[in-house]
A and B are shown apart, each in its own frame.
Chain A
Amino acid sequence: MNAMTEQTLPTAPDIQPAAASGLGYFFYKVKKSPLTVAGLFIILFMLAMMLFAPWLATHDPNAIDLMYRLLPPSAEHWFGTDEVGRDIYSRIIFGSRQSISVGLFVVAVSGVIGALIGCFSGVVGGRTDRVIMRLMDVMLSVPSLVLTMALAAALGASLFNAMLAIAVVRIPYYVRLARGQALGIREMGYVKAARTFGASRWHIVSWHVIRNALPPLIVQATLDIGGTILMAAALGFIGLGAQQPTAEWGAMVATGRNYVLDQWWYSGFPGLAILITATGFNLFGDGIRDILDPKQKGK
C-alpha cells in the first residue's frame, strides 16, 4: 500500500494555491469595495457609540431642566434640547444602545429560528414541508407593519415586546430563504452520500445544509438590521416601543414631530442617526452579498 502511495503522489495533479478563500480573502475583497468599507466604518462607529456612551455624552440624557427647553443647537447643547430641556445629543448617544441592540437582537433571533425551521422543512420535505410553508405564507400575506403592530399591542407596550413582535414577523423571510437553499443542497452528492451511511436529519442539517445555506442568510440578516431599526422606530413612533423616559431614536422622532416646524433639530437629529445607521448596515450587507456570490469571485 505504501509503495502505491509513493508511486501515485508525484504524478497526481498539483494542489491549487489556497488563495481563493478564508477570512484573509474576505477582507481583501472588502478593502477593494469602498462602499463596503464605508458601511463597515459606520457600523464600527455606531458600536463604539453604544459602548462608550457615558464618556461621549455631554449631559445626563434624562436630566430635565425646564429653563432650557427647546433650545436650538449651540456650543453647550450640540444638537439642541427637547421640550423638557434634555440634551438631544446625549439622548441620541444613549439611544443608540436601544436602537442598535433592537436591530441585532431581532436579526439574531429571527435569523436563527427561521434558518433552522427552513432548513429542516427543506430537508424533511413532503407534508411537513407543505404545512410549514403554508403557515409562513399566511404570515407573509399580512402586511408586516400591521402584523407587528398587532402583536406588539397584544403583548403590551414595551421595547422588549416590540422586539419580540418584530422578530416573530421577520421569521418567515428567513424560513423561505433557508428552505430554498436547503432544497438545492439536499440534491447534492454529499447529502446523498450522508444519507447512505445512515446520518440523522440533524446531522444532515447541521453539517451540510446550514453550512452551505449560510452566505445568503448572512446577507439577508445584515440587510435586515437597518430595516429592523426603522421598524422599531416606527413602533416607537406610535407609542408601542420604548417608553419614556428611555431615550430611543424612533420615539424621539415621534415626539419631535409636534415641534418640527419651529424646532427642526428635535426630530431631525434622531432621524439622521436612524438614516446613517440603516445606510451603514445596508451598504455593508450589499457589499458582502457581492463578495460571497461565487460568480463575482473572478472579478
Chain B
Amino acid sequence: MTTMPVLSLKDIQVRFPVNPDWRGRPRQHVHALNGISLEIAKGETLGIVGESGCGKSTMAQVLIGLLQPTQGEMTLSSGKSNGKGGMQIVFQDPQSSLNPRLPVWKIITEPVFAAANRKVDKAAMRELAQQLAAQVGIRPEYIDRFPHEFSGGQRQRIAIARALAAEPDIIVLDEPTSALDISVQAQILNLLAELQRSRQLTFILISHNVSVVRHMCNRVAVMYLGQIVEIGDAAQVLEHPAHPYTQLLLASVPTLESVQDESAVPENVELPSNRVLPTGCYFKDRCPSASSACLQPQVLKQISTQSQEHEARCHLAHPD
C-alpha cells in the first residue's frame, strides 16, 4: 500500500469475562478477537467475510467505538478518536436503526446536532437534511415524514444519509443489504458505490454474502475465530483462495450452474470453542489437509508467488 492509511489496527484483542465465581471474578474468557492487524487506505472498500461467530460483529463494535479492545491499538490518521464521529455505521436492520419518533430531517442531521452540543440553527439543519436526502435518493420534500412511512430500502438510504452527515473518515457497513429484498439490495449497493466515487469515502463492508463482497470490495479479509486468516486483493482472494478455510467458505456458496459437491462439505462444521483457544492453527480440526505442521502457530504473511497483495495464515500457502 503506497498511500498513508486512514485507519490502522494493531494486534486488536477483545476478551469478555464469563462464568464468574462467587467473588465475581471470571473463571473463563470468551476470546472474540485474537489479534487483528489491519491498514485501510483512503477511498478503498475493505470487505470482511466469515461465518457466524467468527467475530465480525465484535469487530464492527470495536471499530465504531462501542467496545473498547482489551488489548491493541487503533489509530485514525485524522486524529479523531472513534466514538466522536471518526467512524459511522450503517446497520443491518433499517427497522431499528432509525428512531420511530423523530422526523427524517432530525434523524439525518443528528450527528451534527450532537457534535455541536445541540446548539445549532434549525433552518441550517433542515437545509443540510435536504441536501443529504437528495444525495441518497430521498425526495427533499419527505424530510418531515417519519421512518414508518418509508420502505426498507428507503430507510437504509436515510441511515446512509445520517452516516454521511458526520463526514466520517470511514463508514462501517454491517451487512447493509441482508435485510432487504433482492431488487432493493442492488439499488443500495449502487448508491454506495456512487457515493464512494463522488465523495472519496472509505468503506469497511462486513458481510457473509460473497457475491456482495465481490461486487463492492477492492480488498477482502477472511476471518476465522477472531483472526484474519487471509487478506488481499478481492479478485485475487476470491478467485484463487490460498487458505483452506477460504476455499471451504467459497465452495459452500451455492451456485445455479453447478451441483453442490457433497464430498467437499466437511463433517465437522462447528467452530471450535472460543473459551479455550486451540493451540497451533485454529483451523486444524476442520481442515481437510491438516498435517503435523499445523500444530505450530501459523503466521499471516505474503504469498511469495503472488505479485499483488495476498497474505494467508497457512503453511501450505508458503511452500518454502
Contact = CB atoms under 8 A, between A and B. Distances in A.
A24 interface: no
Contacts of A192: 64, 66, 89, 91
A13 B66 contact: no
A189 B139 contact: no
Given A8-B137, A12-B137, A207-B99, A199 B153 contact: no
Interface stretch (B140-148, B218-226, B296-304, B311-319): B140-148
B114 A9 contact: no
Given A12-B153, A16-B148, A18-B145, A197 B111 contact: yes
B96 A196 contact: no
Contacts of B100: 212
Given A18-B149, A207-B102, A211-B99, A189 B93 contact: yes
Contacts of B146: 21
B150 interface: yes
Interface in A199-240: 199-200, 203, 207-208, 211-212
Interface residues of A, number: 32
Interface in B97-130: 97-102, 107, 110-111, 113-115, 117-118
Given A8-B191, A13-B154, A190 B135 contact: no
Given A196-B65, A211-B102, A5 B137 contact: yes
B32 to A, nearest CB: 17
B223 to A, nearest CB: 21
A197 B154 contact: no
Contacts of B84: 197-198
B89 A193 contact: yes
A197 B110 contact: yes
A198 B148 contact: no
A9 B150 CA distance: 13
Contacts of A4: 137, 191, 194
A11 B187 contact: yes
11 contacts: A8-B191, A14-B151, A15-B149, A188-B99, A189-B97, A189-B98, A193-B88, A194-B114, A195-B83, A196-B65, A207-B102
Interface of A: 1-2, 4-5, 8-9, 11-16, 18, 20-21, 188-190, 192-200, 203, 207-208, 211-212
The 10 nearest A-B residue pairs measured at CB: A189-B97, A199-B114, A197-B111, A8-B137, A13-B151, A211-B101, A198-B84, A189-B91, A190-B99, A196-B64
Interface of B: 64-66, 82-85, 87-89, 91, 93, 96-102, 107, 110-111, 113-115, 117-118, 134-135, 137, 139, 142, 145-146, 148-154, 157, 159, 162, 166, 184, 187, 191, 194, 198
